[in-house]
Amino acid sequence: MLFNSLDFLLFFPIVCITYWILPNKIRNPFLLIASYYFYLNWKPIYGLLIFCSTIITWLCSLGIDKTEKKEYKKSILLFCLISNLSILFLFKYANFFTSSVNACFEMLGIRLEIPQMNILLPVGISFYTFQAIGYTIDVYRKTILPEKNFFTYALFVSFFPQLVAGPIERAKNLLPQFHSKHIFNQEKALEGLKLMIWGYFMKLCIAERLSPYVDAVYNNYHQHNGTSLLLATFFFTFQIFCDFGGYSLIAIGAAKCMNFELMQNFNRPYFAINIKQFWRKWHISLSTWFMDYVYIPLGGNRCKTTKHLKNLFVTFFVSGLWHGANWTFIAWGSLHGIYLIVGILKNKYLPKVKAPSVIHTIVNVIVTFCLVMFAWIFFRANDITSAFAIIKKIFTEPGALYNGDGLPNQLLGLLCIGILMMKELKDEMNLKINFMHNENVVISTVSMAAMVSFILLTAVYTGGQFIYFQF
């Protein structure tokens, strides 16, 4: 079930109203049923996968807690990790692995045809798998106590607002909320609705409007010049932010309407002054997950410089692989790792540039944005060969701009991007200018009505999936 579907617009109000009508003791079972219904809407058989991951991590966590010997705890944790990651590998990476092996042997002149499996990637498998694994590791580290109630834990793994595309929640934040007695809070509900409205604006008015142009150019890059490819890359930079950022806001807002607090997933990433700060602002739930469960266990920065840089690169290499079974994602993650390594070496060995703070900040923001936009080429390209061909065209083949659906459509897309960035700039500069969030009820209500009207008038209703559903 998509957030931008009519089904969800019927599903969510019914679930939300029913949740508040029901007695507190049966709300969690109701949410669990609703969450599984939400997920099973895509492909019912894949409900077995999330149930399997849930029961494995739950039982393993109980076993870790009850076992006294450290080596037994490690064995149980290892079994849990191997089991969950094996499922993830089978459904997400098996075909990528076999095709890569076939290609390697072909380069050596050996014809090897390892057959590929006809398997559809389960929606959200990377998200709920990482959430469940994180819980088990936290129990092993004694950061949290294991959840004794299986159904409560199952709800933690499958909670529908953040199930298929995050945020990847931590057990210490979300699990206690399922044990709390929730009382309807009008202010929180309104705040949740406002977040959802802005999320729908990002998705329907920006991401969905830019998507046809990006797809037309990138899927037929050989027919387009560098100017069109540059504009498509610029559009994709905002398409993916608005697509995923919009989803996160809808998820956070939907949860807030039921008095649940999910973690912030984006914090004005395109105003970052360097790549390090970008990753503190972009997909925060994933970047902190990799920091806590990959980067720090590898040694983090508490080691020699060479090992520290290696730890960084490995973390971003794995992050790229997490995003998809394609060398383009690995290249994208590795490139960000290289960015960070270069930044560390620059700060260590080169003198700092003396310039007025405002000018320095603006230059850093622009440079960081350009580096991020360049990396998105690999993320969006269909394959590595296409990515390098697109880069070459951008730098060597200027020409007339491809109009796509027409200039008015592009201008409307740019207008919506402008609205987004003005709002982001306002928040970045902490300006006390509020419309939907104004304390004055009249201004707030009128602003909400105006925003909803603008969305209804300018939205693109293609029913397109969110980009991160493929991860």
Predicted confidence (pLDDT) per residue in 39-81, tens digit: 998 888 888 999 999 999 999 999 999 988 889 999 999 999 9
- Among 278-292, 396-410, 413-427, the minimum mean pLDDT is found in 396-410
What pLDDT, on a 0 to 100 scale, did the predictor assign at position 293?
Answer: 94
What pLDDT, on a 0 to 100 scale, did the predictor assign at position 128?
Answer: 93
Measure the CA–CA gap between 57 and 55, rounded to whole angstroms.
Answer: 6
Radius of gyration of the chain (CA): 23
Average pLDDT over residues 281-310: 91
Residue (of 220, 233, 468, 211) closest to 329 by Cα position = 468
Mean pLDDT (the chain) is 90
The answer to whether 336 is a known catalytic residue is no
| Residue 471 scores a pLDDT above 70 | no
Average pLDDT over residues 360-379: 95
What pLDDT, on a 0 to 100 scale, did the predictor assign at position 41?
Answer: 87
What pLDDT, on a 0 to 100 scale, did the predictor assign at position 353?
Answer: 67
Kindly list the distances between the CA atom of residue 261 and the CA atoms of 1, 90, 192, 255, in Å, as whole numbers in the listed order: 22, 33, 10, 7
Measure the CA–CA gap between 178 and 158, rounded to whole angstroms.
Answer: 12
| Residue 367 scores a pLDDT above 90 | yes
Q: Are residues 381 and 328 in contact, defined by beta-carbon separation less than 8 angstroms?
A: yes
Share of the chain above pLDDT 90, in %: 66
- Of 182, 323, 360, 437, which is the active-site residue? 323
Measure the CA–CA gap between 249 and 165, rounded to whole angstroms.
Answer: 11
What pLDDT, on a 0 to 100 scale, did the predictor assign at position 301?
Answer: 83
